[in-house]
Structure 1
Amino acid sequence: MKKIGLLPKIIIAIILGIVIGMIAPDKLVRVFATFNGLFGNFLGFVIPLIIIGFIAPGIGALGRGAGKLLGWTAALAYISTIGAGLLAFLTAKTLYPSLLSNLSLAQFADPEKSLAKAYFLVEMPPLMDVMSALLIAFIIGIGIAAIKSNALLSIVNDFRDIVQLLIEKVIIPLLPFHIFGIFANMTSAGQVGAILSVFSKVFIMIIALHLLYLLLQFTVAGSMQQRNPLKMLKTMSPAYFTALGTQSSAATIPVTLKNAKKIIKQERVAEFATPLLATIHLSGSTITLVSCAMAVMFMQGQTYTFGSLFPFILMLGITMVAAPGVPGGAVMAALGLLESMLGFGPTMTALMIALYMAQDSFGTACNVTGDGAITAIVDRISKNDSAQAPNTN
């Protein structure tokens, strides 16, 4: 099983959950619900640690080193991420009323009542709420950048490594079991048909948005570089297909870097920007998160407006800067925002994770391919700055 990728495991978990949910007695389903309750509480406890563990060192490191080039790269990554979120919002707002019109909202008005209850629960209260964790992360990160403290940066980097190890060794391996239990419970409660209907339709819409946004990114990059954007996109395609297999922006860096150098003239820009963007530029993941969040809200009968989603998108852009570079890392980093800003409960969170994880590799592929476009834009800006700089010789 260790050799099977996370995406196949998620698919297997969903299929097994549906099959077992059809035939399992209520007592067995309650065993699954007990595990889901325990895992959900543990996840709630870990969320503030994830926020501090990744955002604080991320901001601290961003404030060091490359000056204006670093600032431009970070700003473009944030703008691209926010643009991706807005595109997903506008598309979902337009299409969901017709795309998901066959669903009965009343069926999801109070899903907790139809789901099996856990035999017991163990309370695991988090050390702090999400907003407190965000504020602490920002204060520590900005402070590290301001005083240039190598010692404090080393400490928060070590804490980040601990949290990442927790995600890789505990949370991610247990996610398939969590999703298995959720789908078994929903099948037993008669909800899975509508869930799978949403699953397939949203999945297709998200991939279409990924491809559309890549075309937009490379159109801008191509116009600035005065090159054919489709040829640039074709050059970056090996990174896309590599990421489909690795599900990791970090693991795809060698391929991304190799092909990014082919679409720009300054190799030093690619060598600087590509590893940085693999960490801070997650436009594909943002499209997925916003689309899935709105789908889950639609399923639950909740209303959403631009006023309620735009602050979430802005904060999501910041959170994505330091999302852990592991499969499912983006949705793990976003759970706190989903709960605090959109009011997601345990069932909604589980559905969100299932929807996100099913296409995580496509989101990662969009992320790393878009890194090539951002690198090309940074390259052009860098050349303009060099041309405008006064000659001191």
Structure 2
Amino acid sequence: MSHVQSFYDRMASTSLVLRIIIGISLGAGLAVISPQTAVAISFLGSLFVGALKAVAPVLVLVLVASAIANQKQGQHTNMRPIIFLYIVGTLASSLVAVCMSFLFPVTLTLVTSSVGSLPPEGIMEVFHTLLFQIVQNPFESLLTGNFIGILAWAIGMGMALRHGSESTQIMVNDLAMAVSAIVRFVIQLAPVGILGLVASTIAQTGFGVLAGYSKLLAVLISSMLIIGFIVNPLIVYLNIRQNPFPLVLRCIRESGVTAFFTRSSAANIPVNLQLCKSLGLHEDTCSVSIPLGATINMAGAAITITVMTLAAVHTLGISVDLPTALMLSIVAAVSACGASGVAGGSLLLIPLACSLFGISDDIAMQVVAVGFIIGVVQDSLETALNSSTDVIFTATACMAAERVAADQAEAPSESLQQNNASQ
């Protein structure tokens, strides 16, 4: 047992990012040298993603309930500015996607493909689904990964437990620490899981499958890079008045890389919570903001919905005026909030956006099929942007609150100094 513990301690002391890079390199090399072996070890990736998805719902339920139950009276959690940043970031993403689509219009050679799920018929159906997710049975929510329902029950339980005995609150806190320990162990397995994911993906799809959609991918990738490296840093700077890139690059490196390969915002929740802890953010804040961000902070999804919809519009030769484009941005941003936190969740909302232009479901579903073809890159980048932005905005709101508090603390002392000097 001591040997196993010693090996785990040595592994944990090595940089996780470095081990992930090694896993990526080994997976890509194995896929090129021996595709059959690469496919054979694909279970490692599935096992890792499955473990993340297994612990994430329990982690969210326990952590949020514990954070609220043990919250001290008058303690601020900065949730209002975080939600505001989520909304601004998602809307900005859809606006950037509109601009890029107009600057570089894309036409598609539409294909036919069957899609397993039916898209929502309208924006009210999205709200209807979200509303009923809130009141879903908690056990069913845990089994299906319905984080809206899990959050609702966690908040309700946490508020009720605030009136419980001190021993009960301590027990809930101990339970949260125990689940967190399990999560830390799962995260240490990320390099092995990513090795399996990379190896199987490259072995099965190769590098040439995306060549026919290079222009569409270029617009999607460029839009996401603009958000990730220009818009998000600008939002961070306007809030904290400091160089934003150390925070942004760290979040992309430690959250975005893992999310790129798991392709699930929900599965990346444990990774983000661990990153928030290493950044020194308050647990009461990040334990609520991170699961909430995995549900409603969908900058990448807004870009995908907008670019794919306008690609269909340009393919059909439909003219688009500025008011309609702005309306598309709003619809894409709102729809993105209803996107599922699993791989490909945003694609089924494309028909909803296409309906703004009178595009039939038959054509819209062909566009969805194109999305699934390029999903090996599109969905990975989308999830990386979505998930890393959750931590970026959470940290930004916390740092901005600290800056305001520091300014307020300095103001009385400066006023006192001025009074003394005048006397």
Place the TM-score, normalised by the shorter chain, in its bin. 0.5 to 0.7
1:17 touches 1:181 (CA, 8 Å); kept in 2? yes
Q: For the residues of structure 2 that align with 1:210 and 1:297, how far apart are their CA atoms?
A: 19
2:300 touches 2:381 (CA, 8 Å); kept in 1? no
1:16 touches 1:180 (CA, 8 Å); kept in 2? yes
Q: For the residues of structure 2 that align with 1:99 and 1:50, how far apart are their CA atoms?
A: 43
**Alignment equivalent of 1:79, drawn from 58, 75, 84:** 84
* CA distance 1:295–1:365, change in 2 (3 Å): closer
1:203 touches 1:359 (CA, 8 Å); kept in 2? no
Q: For the residues of structure 1 that align with 2:57 and 2:113, how far apart are their CA atoms?
A: 29
1:8 is matched with 18
Quote the sequence identity (%): 17
Q: Deviations over 1:29-85 (max 9, x none)?
A: 3322222333333333323212202221233344x3226xx27x4323332343333
CA apart distance, 1:186: 2.1
1:33 is matched with 42
Mapping for residues 1-393 of structure 1, pairs under 5 Å: 2-25=12-35, 27-62=36-71, 64-66=72-74, 70=76, 73-92=78-97, 94-95=99-100, 128-129=143-144, 130=146, 131-145=148-162, 147=163, 149-170=165-186, 172-192=187-207, 194=210, 202-203=224-225, 205-218=227-240, 232-233=241-242, 248-253=275-280, 290-294=298-302, 306-307=330-331, 309-310=333-334, 313=337, 335=341, 367-377=394-404
Q: For the residues of structure 2 that align with 1:178 and 1:296, how far apart are their CA atoms?
A: 26
> How many equivalent residue pairs?
311
CA apart distance, 1:10: 3.0
2:69 touches 2:159 (CA, 8 Å); kept in 1? yes
Q: For the residues of structure 1 that align with 2:52 and 2:294, how far apart are their CA atoms?
A: 21
Q: Which runs of 5+ in 1 are unaligned?
A: 112-124, 219-231, 257-273, 317-333, 385-393
Normalised TM-score (structure 1): 0.57
Q: Residue type of the partner of 1:35? A: L
Q: Deviations over 1:312-354 (max 9, x none)?
A: 64x89xxxxxxxxxxxxxxxxx947986997999x97998677
Q: For the residues of structure 2 that align with 1:56 and 1:213, how far apart are their CA atoms?
A: 30
CA apart distance, 1:160: 1.6
Q: For the residues of structure 2 that align with 1:340 and 1:356, how far apart are their CA atoms?
A: 10
Q: For the residues of structure 1 that align with 2:29 and 2:12, how far apart are their CA atoms?
A: 23
3-state secondary structure, aligned to 2:189: helix
Normalised TM-score (structure 2): 0.53
1:292 touches 1:355 (CA, 8 Å); kept in 2? yes
3-state secondary structure, aligned to 1:233: coil
* CA distance 1:38–1:101, change in 2 (3 Å): farther
Q: For the residues of structure 1 that align with 2:205 and 2:342, how far apart are their CA atoms?
A: 29
1:223 is matched with none
